[in-house]
Chain A
Amino acid sequence: MLERPNDFLVSSREYFVLFAAIVAALAILFNNDAPQLDAIRGYAVDRYAAFHVLADWKTWRDYQPEEVSALRQRTTQLLLENSQLREAYLENVRLRRQLEYRERAQLELRAARVLFKESNSTPNTVVIDLGASAEVKANMPVVTPEGLAGKIIKVNQHTSHVQLLLDRDFSVSARIQRSRVLGIVTWMSAQDFEMTGVARHADVTAGDVVVTSDSSALFPPGIRIGLVLKPTVEPTGMFRKIPLMPAANFARLEEVFVVMTANRNLRSNIAPNAGKGE
């Protein structure tokens, strides 16, 4: 029995010194931006994700996860097909006029659970429970039943990081579905999006649906992005200010779908790092 608390500190001082040295060294080490540490972080996220799933077992206890996941996947597939069919119909009308036809890509989706949001991260990302082991690759689009959610930016063995549409560095080529006006959708602040680069006299009205365009290098055309709120024109501006309401509900992002099908029209023809920032 040690007589004074101070004796404990003195007799254990080598452990305290070792602890302090390890903490200091780890703090320095994890400030590096080296591939080894990226791999360690990815490994740690994979392990944490596995623990997270185990800790959340109560949520999964009362229902059949495979069945629910399959149904959600089917619902999303149908909703996306519906959106694409509408897109295809409008396109068909237009193409018929021009006597041209182009094959539409069929989307293959894979359901993923959103494990957690990276709260202090820039860019604005979430981690999902699909990784390289499920053949997920960087730049694959991520959708919800309502519409586009983001894209994969980093793949670990069993998890992936999804850059959300809410990120300031995320932008996507888009069209007004009705009038085929082309523009770029970018995040402005909080839940506000804008479609930029649209001329002031372009045909855009409130309620118009905005979808991904066929000139996107990463995203299949026809995926819903959002709805036009109230377009305005600055008195001296050349462009219209087109605020959007996003289709996907980012406040309740629980399950998403990774689009596994490549955009056959464009993706096979571009360099691996093309489309950064889109």
Chain B
Amino acid sequence: MFKRIFKYVLMFSFLLALQIAVAPLLAFSDVHPDFMLLGVILAAMRHGAVPAILTGFLAGLVQDVAVSELYGLQALSKAVAGFVAGYFARDKVKFELQVVIGLAFATAFAHNVIRDTVFYFDVGFNFFYVLARYVLPNSIYTVVFVAIIQMLWPEALRRKASVD
């Protein structure tokens, strides 16, 4: 149990470093991948919804403190993302690439709808503009990285037995 927690702390520390140092380099016109979300999706696929919600909430809080302007926004969106990913990943042990992409897209979409709608609320953008300009591109960009992980390291996204 503690060993697993320690592994997740290490993994999210690495992902946070990527988020701070690498994500801005990969960004184009305000669209960038969310590496912390990759960790939440991974937690959901390996351990189910409850660990994913808790992991998403805590990882989001850390991300809020480290990089966000609105404390609580990443925690909220990543907790919901953890639930969505865990919900779609339940009862599955092995994941095909198409399933992983669909699951990751649904998760990233739910995450980005919450985050970007709140973040751009004061600007007065139309909801559908936010959807087309930020939510969908950010979701697709994050899904690309999930697909890469699935292709290079399929074991990472496999359900651990007898957990959750």
Contacts and interface: CB of A to CB of B under 8 A. Distances in A.
Interface of A: 13-14, 17-18, 21-22, 24-32, 34-40, 43
Nearest to A40: B121
A14 B90 CA distance: 11
A43 B123 CA distance: 13
A104 B120 CA distance: 45
B89 to A, nearest CB: 12
B76 A22 contact: yes
B83 A28 contact: no
B121 A39 contact: yes
A29 B78 CA distance: 13
B90 to A, nearest CB: 9
Nearest to A18: B83
Please name the 6 residue pairs, one residue from A and one from B, whose CB atoms are nearest each other, closest first: A29-B72, A28-B72, A25-B76, A21-B79, A39-B122, A14-B49
B119 interface: yes
Nearest to B118: A36
Contact of B50 (A14, A26, A31): A14
A205 B73 CA distance: 59
B50 A25 contact: no
Interface string B59-90: 01100100001111101100110010011000
B159 to A, nearest CB: 15
State the majority secondary structure of interface residues on B.
Answer: helix
Q: Is the interface of A mostly helix, strand, loop or mixed?
A: helix
Nearest to B49: A14
Nearest to B164: A14
Contacts of B54: 17, 21
A36 B72 contact: no
Contacts of A26: 72, 76
Contacts of B57: 21, 24-25
A25 B76 CA distance: 5
Contacts, number: 74
A38 B70 CA distance: 12
A184 B75 CA distance: 48
27 contacts: A13-B50, A14-B50, A14-B53, A18-B49, A18-B79, A21-B53, A21-B54, A21-B57, A22-B79, A25-B75, A28-B61, A28-B71, A28-B72, A28-B75, A29-B72, A29-B73, A30-B72, A31-B71, A31-B72, A32-B70, A32-B71, A32-B72, A34-B122, A36-B70, A36-B120, A38-B122, A39-B121
Contacts of B49: 14, 17-18
Contacts of A32: 70-72
B70 A37 contact: yes
Contacts of A36: 70, 118-122
A25 B72 contact: yes
B75 to A, nearest CB: 4
B122 A27 contact: no
B119 A21 contact: no
A15 to B, nearest CB: 8
Contacts of A13: 50
Nearest to B73: A29
Interface string B97-127: 0000000000000000000001111100000
Given A21-B56, A21-B75, A29-B72, 13 more contacts: A14-B83, A17-B49, A21-B54, A21-B57, A21-B76, A22-B76, A22-B80, A25-B75, A26-B72, A28-B71, A32-B71, A34-B69, A37-B70
A40 B56 CA distance: 24
